[in-house]
Amino acid sequence: MKSWTRRAALLVAIVVALGTNAACGKSQDVWASPGDLIYAVTWSGSSVLFVRSPTSASEELWVAEKGGKAHKIRDPRLPCEPRGYRVLDRADPGHVIVGVLCVQPLRRSYFVDVDIASGEGRVLAAIDAEMFGGAWLNSTESGYVVHGSEGTDCLSVTPVGPEGVRTFSQPAEVDGVRWRFDSQFPVGSHDCLEFGDVGLVAGGGPGDSKAVFLASGAAAGKTGEERRLAPYALVVLDTPDAQPRQIMHGFVDPRGLSVSPDGLPAAVSGTLNGTRGVWIVNLPNGSACPVAKGRYRAVALSGDGKQLAVVRFAADDEVRVLEIGNVCR
């Protein structure tokens, strides 16, 4: 009887563990492992595009497909010599939006729509600031640039369009702290104690004009590591003139953010409630579901929102794809 009880308990434990692994999106396929730093990942149809940063060469755009087939794509024709790719974003089929920081002229950045097959590029917006990150919203032909300067903890975000830089019409409030998200434009100051921090931004798909930010009111009054490790809130901005709606709070050291094309779930890589990993957040109700544990950098939800491309920190970074289905919807 005791033996049967032990066996039953073991069987229950195995079933629970398998269920937990499935719920946490443990099914991961390695799509690319080129042996270098990888970041800035996005989808184009059923393929994953990513930026590879070889130690002895310029950054490259690569494409990966299921089965581990990955290769470099044609160098895009850009309006300047790129110092680095700062953004990869969804575009029309066969295209990708890149955010590029120039070598010359200094502190000039561009959003460019690139034809993947031909490499031809069409400039969408030009910004006289160092681009650290950002997002382009095809539905509104506008975007957001995260900007600052090397060696500073002070980052902010500015809305942009084809005509160049736009501005927010009013301060935003996150966790009880009010400041202008674009307070540090065009160059991040070394004195931002009175301001919060906006580190990541992502947009949805066609017909969805909202943008999602990871912003920290708790960063105000802090510098260095203290500022970087302040908790961030996930906030939604329906238009540049609207007040952000705070969805949830508590992400620490966030590294990646993506929004499904239908605008419902978001994916975040970072630490939440003491656990480091990747989370799916239901934007309408603020619930968060873990889909992977460990150290991850960039994330990108697929066109149907049922697959998630992630960049996993490793001795050699890897692009992995998780089958997440309808988790947290």
Question: How far apart, in Å, do the first and last CA atoms of the chain sit?
Answer: 43
**Token representation of residue 281:** 């957040």
pLDDT at position 147, please? Answer: 87
Question: CA 240, CA 127: separation in Å to the nearest integer?
Answer: 17
- The radius of gyration of the chain from alpha carbons, rounded to an integer in Å, stands at 20
What pLDDT shows up at residue 150?
64
The reported pLDDT for the residue numbered 2 is 33
329 residues of the chain, pLDDT tens digit each: 333 333 333 333 333 333 333 345 557 899 998 888 998 999 999 999 999 998 767 899 999 999 878 999 999 999 998 889 999 999 888 999 999 999 887 779 999 999 999 999 999 999 988 899 999 998 788 999 998 766 667 788 999 999 988 888 889 999 999 998 988 775 545 567 888 999 899 998 777 788 999 999 999 998 888 988 999 999 999 887 888 899 999 999 999 999 998 888 999 999 999 999 999 999 999 999 999 999 999 999 999 999 999 999 887 899 999 999 989 88
pLDDT, position 152? 66
- Domains of the chain, CATH where assigned: 28-323 (2.120.10.30)
The pLDDT score that the predictor gives to residue 83 is: 87
DSSP string, 29-86: EEEE--SSEEEEEEEETTEEEEEEE-TTS--EEEEEETTTEEEEPPPP--SS-EEEEE
CB atoms within 10 A of CB 57: 9
Alpha helices (H) in the chain, listed in sequence order: 2-23, 224-228
Instruction: Please report the pLDDT score of residue 23 as a whole number.
Output: 45
Token pair belonging to 130: 């160092």
User: How far apart are the C-alpha atoms of 319 and 328, rounded to whole Å?
Assistant: 23
Q: Give which of 257, 266, 168, 254 is closest to 219, Cα–Cα.
A: 254
